Amino acid sequence: HFVLNIRGLHRDPRYWDHPEQFNPDRFAPEQAKNRHHFAFIPFLGGPKKCIGDSFAMMEMQLVVPTILQQHRLRYDLAAPPVEKAGFV
């Protein structure tokens, strides 16, 4: 059996500056072109990757702006960060 630590890969400082910080700009096309193709693989990659990845990305581009237009989101700086990790 082979287990790929995707969470660890997505927080690897070899590929990400300040990997534990939220920075949506790191996914901008101009930054993505300088990063290894498999440094960010939420849907895995290659011929066995998730067939719904294109749909999920398109849906995210529609859903997030809709939520932000219709709701006011606030971040509670006093709240401790929530860290949940586990195996399935």
pLDDT digits (tens, 9 = 90+) for 29-76: 898 888 888 899 989 888 888 999 999 999 999 999 999 999 998 888
pLDDT over threshold 70, residue 87: no
Rounded to whole angstroms, the Cα distance separating 87 from 23 reads 26
Q: What does the pLDDT read at residue 47?
A: 87
What's the whole-model pTM score?
0.62
Q: What does the pLDDT read at residue 88?
A: 57
**Tell me: the pLDDT tens digits for 10-36?**
999 999 999 989 898 998 989 888 888
Alpha-carbon distance values, 54 to 21, 25, 42, 58, 65 (Å) = 26, 20, 12, 6, 18
